[in-house]
Amino acid sequence: MKPPASQPYIGIKPPGPKTRALLRSTGDPIDPFPPIWGIPARNQEGPWIEDVDGNIYLDFVSGKCVANLGHRHPTVISAVKEQIDHVVLGATENRFTLAEKLADLVPGRFPKKVFFGSSGSDAVDGALKLARWSTGKPNILCVSGAYHGQTYGALSVSSTWNWMVRGFHPLPGVFHLPPPYCYRCPFKLNYPSCGLQCLRYLTETMFTTFCPPEDIAAVIIEPIFGDMGWVIPPNEYFLELKKLSETYGFLFIADEVQTAFGRTGKWLAMNHLGLVPDIVCLGKPIASGFPLSAMVAREDLTIARGLHFQQSYTLEANAPACAAALATLRVIEEERLLQNCTKLGKHLLEKLNELQKKHSTIGDVRGRGLLATIEIIKDAETREPGIQAAKTICRLALENGLYTMFMGAFETASIRIAPPLNSTPAIIDLGVGILDKALSQAEKILFRNP
Ligand SMILES: Cc1ncc(COP(=O)(O)O)c(C=O)c1O
């Protein structure tokens, strides 16, 4: 990439010929582009990605909420270079320092134990195993439409799309709560007059019929429902659910794989609620792109019946990844990124609210910190989801140099907006400006506006 990029550059309509050839070589579809795993890149730097054809995009999703410091932050890269000059495989002192730091970072003034892995999915599997193992109870509660990953345990508590479970026979003993998706309330009620019917369904229907509370080991929940469509329920929902977990004696697992490390303006999204989970799953941005995850649990849960809970993976807490994680934590502090995220998050939300006034395809705007979304609809009255429109908007955004993507359970479509935490107002304005242009172009095509 000709440094330093400060504007997107589209030399050839994406996907260009080299990208197409790569995708063809592995049988990956060319349409839609980019595939779910991202853009084949030849350079990454800060908020920029250069593809193999030389196009440069503003990455408005931070590599799916992984590159929270932007791509290849110099402090992270030099920590990793320094590390691989000495140790690559297995544990270094960094593993222990990192475990201590993560235990401090996660809320709760009690001893904690950290189990490392290399993906968010394995952290979720670990949490589910620990919950069943320590309580001796069989059942897990999760939320319909949530996403927790794709290993067996994680997919069994996930339900964003049916292809994730179809034909796989997910684990038994998993019960799905109705989603607290206020914009599309499954009970067609409004908050707060609904009295949190989505939780009353748990106590009044599930507990009294197919899901007795004394058999529940844990509830697993995202503080912001990511792939469901970055759905942000009222704080009261989580606080009430936590109370229920205490009343009925099941554990509260917070899946913070996507939301931790400053994405919402606090270290953890649960910090906004003052809520103390029993187990926390961490991953994605923890090591700025190096494979690492962690499951942080109340230590007392890890000892039961005179035994210690055990879990280990060959490549867990890999030395370069731990060096990257410590550097990531340092940068978040030194560059005051929590503060920057909070400030820029407000600016971003204002901008998106302005966009909504201009574009009838935007049904809802949601956000906390630098995790924001616009939900795309076909019709403001019926709120019919606009999947085709979202596809078109993302394609046009890419053709104008902005990389974003959409997601949504229940066949809805919300466009992800998650720029790096060290963005500037100029970067936010640039990204929102391109999105504005893509929305206008898409609306012209879809509604044949003049
Ligand atoms: C909330 C949440 N949990 C777990 C996962 C799974 O993480 P990974 O893809 O690293 O296995 C994801 C990934 O998107 C996620 O968003």
Task: Output the domain CATH number for residue 386.
Answer: 3.90.1150.10
Do 101 and 203 lie in a common domain?
A: yes
Q: For residue 409, is pLDDT > 60?
A: yes
Same domain assignment for residues 120 and 205: yes
What is the arithmetic mean of pLDDT over 183-192?
98
Substitution site in 61, 156, 284 for ligand 1 pocket (most atoms within 8 Å of beta carbon): 284
Domain that holds residue 288: 75-334
327 with 278, same domain: the answer is: yes
What is the Cα–Cα distance from 2 to 123, expressed in whole angstroms?
Answer: 38
Q: Both 55 and 99 in a single domain?
A: no
283 lines ligand 1 (CB under 6 A): yes
In the chain, the percentage of residues whose pLDDT exceeds 90 is 94
Segment 402-412 shows an average pLDDT of 97
| Nearest atom within ligand 1 for CA of residue 283 | 10
The pLDDT, as a whole number, for residue 4 is 59
Which residue, of 310, 334, 358, is where some domain finishes? 334
For residue 289 and ligand 1, the question of a CB distance below 6 A is answered with: no
Q: What is the pLDDT of residue 1?
A: 66
Structure tokens at 400: 């104008």
What pTM was estimated for this model as a whole? 0.97
Residues 89 and 195 in one domain: yes
Does 432 fall in a domain?
A: yes
Q: Which atom of ligand 1 is nearest to the CA of 122?
A: 11
On whether both 330 and 396 belong to a single domain, the answer is no
Q: What is the CATH number of the domain that holds 125?
A: 3.40.640.10
Residue 6 has pLDDT above 90, yes or no: no
Query: How many angstroms is it from 12 CA to the middle of ligand 1?
Result: 32
Ligand 1, pocket-test mutation among 62, 156, 257, 263, most atoms within 8 A of CB: 257
Looking at the fold, whether 277 and 217 belong to one and the same domain comes out as: yes
* Domain tally, the chain: 2
147 close to ligand 1 (CB < 6 Angstrom): yes
Establish whether residue 294 lines the binding site of ligand 1, counting it when its CB lies within 6 angstroms of any ligand atom.
no
- For residue 300, the model assigns a pLDDT of 98
pLDDT per residue over 353-374, tens digit each? 999 999 999 999 999 999 999 9
Residues 142 and 65 in one domain: no
Same domain, 223 and 268: yes
Question: Residue 228: inside a domain, yes or no?
Answer: yes
Say if residue 396 is in the same domain as residue 419: yes
Q: What pLDDT digit, counting tens, does each position of 97-109 carry? A: 999 999 999 999 9
Question: Is the pLDDT confidence value at 450 over 80?
Answer: no
**For 218-260, how does the pLDDT look when each residue is reduced to its tens digit (9 = 90+)?**
999 999 999 999 999 999 999 999 999 999 999 999 999 999 9
